[in-house]
Amino acid sequence: MHVTWSPEDLAFRDEVRDFLDAELSPEMRRAARLMTSVYAPHDLGMAWQAILHARGWAAPAWPVEYGGCGWSAAQRYIFASEMAAAGAPPLSPMGIGMCGPVLIGHGTTEQKAYYLPRMLTGEHHWCQGYSEPGSGSDLASLQMAAVDDGDHFVCTGHKLWTTHANVANWIFCLVRTSQERIPQQGITFLLIDMATPGIEVGPILMLSGEHIQNDVFFTDVRVPKANVVGKVGEGWTVAKYLMEFERGGGVSTPGLKARLARVRDMAAREGVLSDLGPRLAALAIEIDALAAVELQILANLSQGDAPGAKSSMMKTVGTELSQRLTELALEAAGDYGAAYQPHATRPGGPTPNYRPPVDQGHVGPDHSLTVAAKYLNDRAGSIYAGTNEIQRNIIAKAVLGL
């Protein structure tokens, strides 16, 4: 795919490059390059968010009146492309990328005024309370109870696989405020302060040795009714709106292109480019095709439209391309990649804010430090945000009319 940018777009690209050259330190670039998850380590992500916020670039997709950039679709794509090419760390999506758009679309004036500025500064760091034991892709079966008690709901239940709950100070939750014949009814979208008494967070250590996901237990947690987004009992509508942004409201193909370039470079350094070349070329074509769709989605978003069913397609194709990239990276790294073994514990047991000591005991080249951990971590890509099987069902119904 060849895209011709206007002179104004090229000037904007140069502005972004100058900014990245000045503000993105070599230490930040290397830390981002060694990420083994789609999420940056908390301290790295927050430091980079502070830099972007100071420039006014923390929330490119938000309307200007709430602190957004007012950029065109082309500018958003250029910005994401330059960030990916420079190796900038991603910002946590749960606040700015997910809860923020929901508040802009469904929140009260008071909620927008209070929460949105604190998302931008990083004072509030968010996590997502959706999945429960037995309620993952079948999210409408969730059972975390929110009992009416005057001006509050009293919440009791268990959320699972909650990314960054160990470092977040706010969580947006789907809770059940009533039992109805149709499970999607009686669900409410609720904002909860993680410092509220009755909340307990437990770590879930991953195959890659990291602590990113968590159990979150709620026991008689009192939440003001003012924290309901939308209407009580109609949270499923709010949740579906949010999931469109979670699955396809961001800009993902520039990151795939940057990763493809790094895998190609790794294969060349290891002398296996001729072996992997055809598969890398096939991936490049598929990423370009996905980028064309993404540009269409961005154009629609700039006109105020939600991503719709295309978000399911972006999520499905994007995560499967990502998994194929990790497989090729593992092949390109060869024995050096396979030799990497992260440690799941430190002396005394698991550490809540633990990150794998990627530099300890590694004898291979720098580019192979984390390929095995990335491969293991990315197996979850086709499961989180709704399994790809579920996404194909959504596409079949919403697009094909089946």
Dump pLDDT digits (tens) for 221-254: 999 999 999 999 999 999 988 877 655 555 689 9
Residue 246 annotated among the catalytic residues of the structure: yes
Give the per-residue pLDDT at 374. 86
Spacing of C-alpha 183 from chain mean position: 27
| d(C-alpha 277, C-alpha 279), whole Å | 6
Does pLDDT of 294 surpass 80? yes
pLDDT tens digits along 131-179: 999 898 788 999 999 999 999 999 999 999 999 999 999 999 999 999 9
Q: How far apart are CA 249 and CA 305, in angstroms?
A: 10
Q: How far apart are the first and last CA of the chain?
A: 31
> What length is written for the chain?
402
Decide if pLDDT at 90 tops 90.
yes
Quote the CA–CA distance of 291 and 45 in Å, as a whole number.
25
φ, ψ dihedrals at 340, nearest 5°:
-70, 125
Tokens of 376: 């293991």
Res 103 pLDDT > 80: yes
CA-to-CA separations, 280 to 284, 327, 373, in angstroms, rounded = 6, 11, 21
What pLDDT shows up at residue 355? 42
Q: Compute the average pLDDT of residues 276-285.
A: 95
Q: What is the pLDDT of residue 100?
A: 95
Q: How far apart, in whole angstroms, are the C-alpha atoms of residue 368 and residue 352?
A: 26
Q: 7-21, 126-140, 243-257: lowest mean pLDDT where?
A: 243-257
Report how far residue 83's alpha carbon sits from residue 259's, in angstroms, rounded to the nearest whole number: 12
pLDDT at 346 exceeding the cut of 60? no
Exposure of 302 by Cβ count < 10 A (0-12 exposed, 13-18 middle, 19+ buried)? Answer: middle
> What is the rounded average pLDDT of the residues 177-194?
96
User: pLDDT band at 307, cuts 50/70/90?
Assistant: low
Q: What local confidence, expressed as pLDDT, does residue 295 receive?
A: 83
Distance CA 208, CA 37 (A): 9
Catalytic residue among 210, 234, 244, 246: 246
Q: Kindly report which listed range (5-19, 176-190, 351-365) carries the lowest average pLDDT score.
A: 351-365
pLDDT at 302: 63
Q: Report pTM.
A: 0.84
What average pLDDT does range 289-316 have in this prediction?
77
Q: For the chain, what is the mean pLDDT?
A: 87
In this prediction, residue 335 carries a pLDDT of 76
CA torsion 137-287-395-143 (nearest 10°) is 10
Q: What sections of 249-341 are H helices per DSSP?
A: 253-269, 273-302, 310-333, 335-338
